[in-house]
Amino acid sequence: MNRILKILIIATSLFVAVGCNRSAAKEATVSRPLELKTVEAQIRSVSQAIEISARIQPDPGHVVRVYPPAGGRMVRVAVRPGDSVTRGQLVAVLESSDVSQARSDLSKAEAENQRAEHALVRTKLLLEHKVLSEREFEDASAQEIEAKSELDRAKARLKVLGASEKGSSNEVAVVSPISGTVLDVGASSGELSKSTDNATPICTIADLGTVWLTGEVYEKDLAIVRVGVPVQVSVTAYPERRWAGKIAQVSDAIDPVTRTAKARVVLTNSIHELKPEMFATIQLNRPSTDALVIPASAVLHEGGDSTVMVKATNNGYERRLITLRPLNNNEVVVISGLKAGDVVVMEGAALLRGSGD
């Protein structure tokens, strides 16, 4: 009997202890208020940015492809991709029989010109003494003019080849026509160069003092992306840097595949920070409009719907479906579902949803 009484006393004590713990937990839950932060939906003047993906390219007007002036064997290529060169700097040395032929033609032209000059002097003297006719003098004058023209042609040919008139070597020094950066090299030492009709460039040189940014603009943005509109340019390599520019040209044709038009921005690149083939972003702002703005943190996403918790007249909260579009990383523009002055929960809305309010 005493054993049964002890068991009943122990069971009663445990029941009372459990009940007290549950009561304390319930009181703690009830007494903890929801931590909410609210904000009023406001109408503001907003300007949303348009971002255009672009690629950096050299200005085609400042790109030169250096071709061999004649066919022959490449003795030496003096540049490599990425090298900086100045105007007149040696690019390559070419050995060509065309140089020997040009010098031979020059020697013949000089001899023929000298003979024609002497013949003209002699003919003029004979004419003065009435030994020759006027017609024979005119023929001698024409031959002297032809000989001089041929001499000028032979000299010009050597100049084009880059060879001196007095030299004896058949090597040609190919020099850079502009100052710039070597983009690529298409020849190597010992290689046979073809004739100028179908030759491969020895190298391509570009002056990168100015560069083009070419981007693709969608049809819906063409009314905003116009020539002269100010833009900001950024590149991945320098995330903190911005370059200011203007739209220089917008294509008049739409690509039938991508449904975009080409837009171009020209930037000064004096210290060559912007490299050809870099990816860039062209950013410009839409015209300012008045719009209803709320924090992005206030929006609850449920499936394909966007909702917010709005403060009701009875100091409670109601869930409201809205239509929106992004404004920036921290804010959204409400297209429908709210009006100016509505108070929405910007922090803690998920707690209200979980509590069933």
Residues 191 and 86 in one domain: yes
Residues 67 and 189 in one domain: yes
Nearest Cα neighbor of 93 from 112, 69, 109, 111 is: 69
Residues 95 and 201 in one domain: yes
Would you say residue 59 has pLDDT above 90? yes
Residue 115 lies in a domain: yes
Cα separation, 71 vs 73, whole angstroms: 7
Output the six-digit token pair for 278: 């870099």
Alpha-carbon dihedral angle through residues 248, 253, 259, 264, given to the nearest 10 degrees: -10
Pairing of strands 343-347, 72-77: unpaired
**CATH code for the domain in which residue 67 is found:** 2.40.50.100
Would you say residue 105 has pLDDT above 60? yes
pLDDT digits (tens, 9 = 90+) for 10-39: 555 554 444 545 544 444 444 445 578 888
Average pLDDT of span 342-351? 82
Cα separation, 218 vs 260, whole angstroms: 5
Secondary structure letter of residue 216 according to DSSP: E
Residue 45 lies in a domain: no
Q: How confident is the model at residue 250 (pLDDT cuts 50, 70, 90)?
A: very high
Residue 150 lies in a domain: yes
Nearest Cα neighbor of 332 from 296, 299, 302, 287 is: 296
Residues 144 and 190 in one domain: yes
Q: Which residues pair with 216 in a beta bridge?
A: 262
Cα separation, 151 vs 149, whole angstroms: 5
Q: What is the mean pLDDT of the chain?
A: 82
C-alpha distances in Å from residue 264, one per residue of 18, 32, 52, 336 = 76, 60, 11, 37
Cα separation, 74 vs 194, whole angstroms: 10
Average pLDDT of span 278-299? 88
Cβ atoms within 10 Å, residue 157: 20
Number of domains the chain is built from: 3
Pick the last residue of a domain from 160, 181, 205. 205
**Parent domain of 297:** 289-355
User: Among positive and negative, which fits the CA dihedral 332, 337, 338, 339?
Assistant: positive
Average pLDDT of span 244-257? 93
Average pLDDT of span 265-271? 93
pLDDT at 353: 64
pLDDT digits (tens, 9 = 90+) for 171-207: 888 899 999 999 999 888 888 876 666 668 899 999 9
Angle at which helices 97-128 and 134-161 pack, to 10 degrees?
A: 160
Global pTM reads 0.62
Alpha-carbon dihedral angle through residues 244, 245, 250, 255, given to the nearest 10 degrees: -40
**CATH code for the domain in which residue 315 is found:** 2.40.420.20
